[in-house]
Amino acid sequence: MSKKNLLFIPIILLAIVLFSVKNHVVDSEKVYATSNLDAKIEEKVDSVLALMHLNEKIGQLVQYSGKWNATGPSTSKGDQHKLDKLKKGEVGSMLNITSVASIKETQKIVMEHSRLKIPLIFGYDVIHGYKTIFPIPLGESASWDLDIIKQSASIAAKETAASGLQWTFAPMIDVSRDARWGRIMEGAGEDTYLNTVIGVARIHGFQGDDLSHPNTIAACAKHFAGYGFAEAGRDYNTVNIGEYELHNTILPPFKAAAKAGVATFMNSFNDIDGIPSTGNKVLQRDILKQNWSWNGLVVSDWGSIGEMIAHGYAEDKKHATQIALDAGSDMDMESYAYEANLEALVRENKISIEQIDDAVKRVLRLKFELGLFDDPYKYCNEEREKANIYTDEHLAVARDVAKKSIVLLKNETNLLPITKNLKSIAVIGPLADDKDAPLGNWRAKGEYNSAVSLLEGVKSVVDKNTKVFYEKGVELTIPTVKPGENQFLHPLKFNNTDVSGIKAAVEVAKKAEVVLLAIGENAYQTGEGRSQSEIGFFGVQQKLLEAIYKVNKNVVIVLMNGRPMDISWAANNVPSILECWFLGSESGNAIADVLFGDYNPSGKLPVSFPHNVGQEPLYYNQKNTGRPFSPKHVTYSGYTDTPKSALYPFGFGLSYTTFEYKNLELDKSEILKDGEIKLSVEISNTGTRDGEEVVQLYIRDLVGSLTRPIKELKDFKKVMIKAGETKIVNFTINSEKLQFYTVNKKWEVEPGDFNVWVGGNSEASLKGVFRVVE
């Protein structure tokens, strides 16, 4: 760092000394409010705050997108406005600047021109990898492997930090039950508990044990709250839920994130019961900041403060600013509302300076925790940028994560695994040789066409004498943008008419012993704004599937997708189906590992797959209703034209071996509300291959002060069991697993009877019973 850039340090150090002397004795309320904070950092935060003018405080609450050239000539009035604000120290954060060189130059503008030289924090959407791309979050969640999920986030953080960035807008921990919703791909699916533990694993991966370490970044728990419950699965839509649904289903992952020390929260676009989440004071101030004693930074989602006008909740941006800041939204992402209106609102006594100070302190606190005040350029190391991104080591982990995320849905004739010395294999489908789709949406800096394709993966492992035929068969989409161009804002156009390539695909299918048919979705069919009213095979893929199956029954569907799909025809006809999601950089190699038996699949579904879209939203932990399902009566809570149950249920996934569950035992049949029960179960590998099984524990509270779900996941363990081996797996059932947010508006265990199941998916039938007494 140059001497010029260090001029700000003596001013801040002097202020810290003066503040420490002046405030050596503090009242008990302040001690209580900051008891879980680092006292040294708090002194530094307060010392800097004492030096700041109102315009500088407001500036810390402003975040700009940085898609501009910081060192070149201004290309628009907007760019010049940003530059002027940076020089005045009236910007707190930038996003979408993604290289050491660009970040260093942007930081330099602030450090060389602003009065107090408060460093910027730089953020970016690193959702499932930075340049080394891992499976989409929904796919990675199918691993049910918290260690590798944490590891992938850690590698993503390392690459992100090496590029000069300090903040990611992940993980998304929205419980998502509707396959029509495009952003279902970004979370851990339909279950509250699974979202909770996976979200915490990702937070620990991003943040490590020390935010000031140069290989860690600040995480962001999003979207607070209710975003995944958008009505009709339509993105940004209204959310209609009650208070008890909110507390029991949606909030637990966020509460766990706060407890885990997540650095930031992001509020959400939707309203809940008429109040936009961005302006929801109960959510942000009462629950998050007060009840949970969380001291981090809340950032708005992109433009969501201004969008409260379109909601009909704010008259104009000034009104929206007042609502958002009062509700506890600390930083304005790209609404340009705070910078334009906060000063006037303070002078009009509509926003207090104490509210401003509280928000600013949260921003400064994070910057101190990241070490940016010690060295604003600590993340700007060109050598680290060269050495820590897209390495062989990172790609090896990406392959490991990808193969563990694959779910075997069907293997009716034991077609899988395939031997490597077959005479011939046909690799067919619009996604078979696609090197871009496996990267999925939200691929950060993943390079266009950089993934290993299925065709490449197959060719790399089969015997040299095996003939590998390839035909695309059909085009999935009609190109509307140039390769590599940002497709985020472009609608997809599907090929609904051209079947001319099916004939050639059928001919190679006739010649092959086995057909690998790669079909599913375009990578941009899921993600933000990618909601659909249909969830089957788009375009003419179904025609290709039926034509191939007609001439060769040895078909393995390699399904690539970002949401649960309607694959009912395939499930009823095709012998083998492998759910491969969008697996990232090493996709083709990971799929080949599973196809040819080098890895025994162990993935389990984090979402239910429906028989058809009419079942959506679909989830396993439904309420029983007053008229439970019965195939003997029409007047029940089901359908007359389709099953009520899932095609493939939550937690489902096959293996190349088989597992038998037996001898579920409880060490007692009755406990007090604060007691615990030890549960054991025997699991035998009854097949011929070693394999991993995800052992799942489900509980039902039979009678409650509120109606309770028919079954809820409360724990799981992933265990390796050798062929012929039996293992005893143990669980502890305690108050944490039995409590819920009751009619008394608090978390508590209610006495009564409970059922408990252990098995390999949510339809587990091995059951025990116990009772909780006062």
Q: Which residue in the list 46, 191, 271, 301 is annotated as catalytic?
A: 301
d(CA 299, CA 325): 11
Are residues 568 and 391 in contact, defined by beta-carbon separation less than 8 angstroms? Answer: no
Q: Are 202 and 149 in contact (CB under 8 A)?
A: yes
Packed helices 39-51 and 353-369: angle between N→C axes, nearest 10 degrees: 130
Which position has the token pair 């930075």?
130
Peptide bond into 430 cis (omega under 30): no
Q: Is 301 a catalytic residue?
A: yes
HSE (CB half, 13 Å, CA atoms) of 151?
A: 16
**DSSP structure class, residue 133:** B
Token pair belonging to 563: 């949401």
Q: Can you say whether residue 520 is alpha, beta or left, with left for phi > 0 and alpha for psi between -120 and 50 degrees?
A: left
DSSP element (H, E) containing 767: strand 766-773
Exposed / middle / buried, residue 76 (Cβ in 10 Å: 0-12, 13-18, 19+) = exposed
Beta strands in 81-218 (DSSP E): 93-95, 121-124, 167-168
Per the document, the length of the chain is 774
Whether the Cβ atoms of residue 191 and residue 650 lie closer than 8 Å to each other? yes
DSSP 3-state assignment of 21?
A: helix
- Count of CB atoms situated within 10 Å of the CB of 161: 27
Q: Rounded distance, CA 251 to CA 246, Å?
A: 6
For residue 720, is it left (φ>0), alpha (ψ between -120 and 50) or beta? beta
- Compute and round to an integer the Cα radius of gyration of the chain: 27
Structure tokens at 152: 């992938």
In Å, what is the CA distance from 222 to each residue of 287, 338, 488, 652, 722? 15, 21, 20, 27, 40
Q: Where are the beta strands (DSSP E) in 490-536?
A: 493-494, 514-520
CB-side neighbour CA atoms (13 Å) of 346: 18
Q: How many CB atoms lie within 10 A of CB 286?
A: 14
Please state the three-class secondary structure of 145-180 as a single string.
CHHHHHHHHHHHHHHHHHCCCCEECCCECCCCCCCC
Residue in 455, 437, 458, 434 with CA at minimum distance from that of residue 446: 437
641 class by beta-carbon count within 10 Å (0-12 exposed, 13-18 middle, 19+ buried): exposed
Phi-psi region of 45 (alpha: psi -120 to 50; beta: other; left: phi over 0): alpha
548-567 burial, b for 16+ CB within 10 Å, e for fewer? Answer: bbebbebbbbbbbbbbbbbb
Q: Could you tell me which residues are beta bridge partners of residue 754?
A: 701, 770
- Residues carrying an active site annotation: 301
